[in-house]
Amino acid sequence: MMDRRKFLGTVGSAALTAPLFGRTAFAATDKVTFGIPLPMSGPFAANGKFGAMGAQLYVEDLKTLLGHPLAYTVLDAQGQPAAGVRKVQDLFQQQGAHYFAGASLSSVALALGGALDKLGGVFVTAAGADEITGTHCNKAMFRWSVPTYGAVQETIGPLLKRYPDAKRWYTITPQYVFGESLLKATKDLLKANGRELVGNSYHSLDEREFSGYVINAMSTKPDVLVLLNFSSQSSETLRQAVSFGVKKKAVIVMVWASGLEQFQSLGADLCEGVYFGAQYWHQIDSPGNKRLVEITKKKFTMNPNYSLAQIYVACQMMGEGIKKAGSIDPKKAIAAMEGLTYEGLTGTETIRAGDHQVLKNYYLLRGKAKSAMKDPDDYCDILSSGQSYLSPEQEGCKMPA
How do residues 258-314 score in pLDDT, each as one tens digit? 899 999 999 999 999 999 999 999 999 999 999 999 999 999 999 999 999 999 999
400 within some domain: no
> Rounded mean pLDDT of 3-25?
41
Is the confidence at residue 382, as pLDDT, over 70?
A: yes
Domain annotation covers residue 394: no
Write down the pLDDT at residue 278. Answer: 97
Give yes or no: residues 323 and 381 share one domain: no
- Is residue 306 within 8 Å of 296, Cβ to Cβ? no
Is residue 92 located within the same domain as residue 73? yes
Residue 98 inside a domain? The answer is yes
Residue 395 lies in a domain: no
Counting Cα atoms < 13 Å in the Cβ hemisphere of 142 gives 33
- Is residue 190 located within the same domain as residue 48? no
- Looking at residue 130, what is its pLDDT? 86
What Rg, from alpha-carbon coordinates, does the chain have? 20
Q: Is pLDDT of 2 > 70?
A: no
Verify that 226 and 374 share a domain, yes or no.
yes
179 and 122 together in one domain: no
322 shares a domain with 301: yes
Average pLDDT estimate for 177-195: 95
Which range marks the domain in which residue 180 is found? Answer: 149-278+362-386
Is residue 35, in this structure, part of any structural domain at all?
Answer: yes
- Is residue 189 one of the residues assigned to a domain? yes
For residues 370 and 323, membership in a common domain is answered with: no
User: How much is the mean pLDDT over the chain?
Assistant: 92
Question: Does 392 reside within a domain?
Answer: no
Q: Are strands 168-174 and 122-125 parallel, antiparallel or unpaired?
A: unpaired
CATH number at residue 239: 3.40.50.2300
Q: Are residues 108 and 157 in the same domain?
A: no
Domain's final residue, options 345, 360, 375: 360
pLDDT value of position 78: 86
Q: What is the structure's pLDDT at 395? A: 92
Which residues lie below 8 Å from residue 58, measured CB to CB, with a gap of 6+? 34, 70, 72, 311, 312, 315, 316, 319
Question: Rounded mean pLDDT of 61-74?
Answer: 96
Question: What does the pLDDT read at residue 10?
Answer: 40
- Residue 144 makes CB contacts below 8 A (sequence gap 6+) with 124, 125, 126, 310, 313, 314, 317, 349, 358, 360
Q: Per-residue pLDDT averaged across 133-158, rounded?
A: 96
Query: In the predicted model, is pLDDT for residue 14 greater than 70?
Result: no
Sign, CA dihedral 206-211-214-220, equals negative
Say whether both 138 and 67 belong to one domain: yes
Number of domains into which the chain is organized: 2
Does a structural domain hold residue 393?
A: no
Task: Of 364, 362, 367, give the one whose Cα is nearest residue 274.
Answer: 367
Query: Is pLDDT of 25 > 60?
Result: no
pLDDT value of position 12: 40
* pLDDT the model gives residue 105: 85
* Domain shared by 302 and 343, yes or no: yes
Which has the closest alpha carbon to 194: 160, 153, 150, 156? Answer: 160
The pLDDT value recorded for residue 143 is: 97
Asked if residue 217 and residue 105 are part of one domain, the reply reads no
pLDDT band at 227 (very low <50, low <70, confident <90, very high): very high
Instruction: State the average pLDDT over residues 217-233.
Output: 95
Q: Taking 90 as the threshold, does the pLDDT of residue 37 lie above it?
A: yes
15-24 average pLDDT score: 39
Rounded distance, CA 333 to CA 323, Å? 8
Residues 98 and 232 in one domain: no
Distance CA 157, CA 96 (A): 45
